[in-house]
A and B are shown apart, each in its own frame.
Chain A
Amino acid sequence: GAGVSQTPSNKVTEKGKYVELRCDPISGHTALYWYRQSLGQGPEFLIYFQGTGAADDSGLPNDRFFAVRPEGSVSTLKIQRTERGDSAVYLCASSLSRATDTQYFGPGTRLTVL
């Protein structure tokens, strides 16, 4: 079946702009995760959804970052007033029901803030 998909694959924006990054998880996966990966680093946890609710958003760096998953499937990560330090690859992963299950990663969105 189809894997995790993310759009866009690349996003270039200017400092101060608003961006939305989309993640389409594997069908039937109730758990969805957003990570941020900077060059030479491992994925950094941002937020975890179980169904429609954000079960753990402790990794969001500040209130400029927000994510939704209104119907328990597709999720959107929203970043307001982007800063150059937000530049990174944003990875989405989904798993069947919880963290102990295998997390399948999408290809990521490379965000560049000029």
Chain B
Amino acid sequence: QQPVQSPQAVILREGEDAVINCSSSKALYSVHWYRQKHGEAPVFLMILLKGGEQKGHEKISASFNEKKQQSSLYLTASQLSYSGTYFCGTEQTGANNLFFGTGTRLTVIP
């Protein structure tokens, strides 16, 4: 039930773009994206509900393809502050909780 994230890790230079993917084998109702810095709690980024919508938050946006049970997080013109581990949390249809992926460690260097 745990979603699969790819890549596991990525290193970017400031200003470069990245895409993080999240895939589930189960029918999904929503996908939640979080960023966690070392030693801190996960911080909410955005929720995508089924319907294939794409959401944006400054230079971070995401899409959700409910038919493929996949979501992607897009980071454009990356900043040093984007460094951290990104998790997708998937809510399966009819469930009450989130299943989190193993995370994607993003490192932005000057």
Contact = CB atoms under 8 A, between A and B. Distances in A.
A43 to B, nearest CB: 5
Contact of A43 (B29, B43, B100): B100
Q: Which of A33, A56, A99, A105 has the most CB of B within 10 A?
A: A99
Contacts of B89: 42-43, 103
A25 to B, nearest CB: 13
Interface residues of A, number: 25
Nearest to B87: A42
Interface of A is mostly: loop
A107 interface: yes
Contact of B42 (A41, A59, A98, A105): A105
A14 interface: no
Contact of B97 (A4, A42, A91, A99): A99
Given A45-B98, A48-B97, A56-B97, A102 B103 contact: no
Interface of A: 4, 33, 35, 40-45, 48, 50, 55-56, 59, 91, 98-100, 102-108
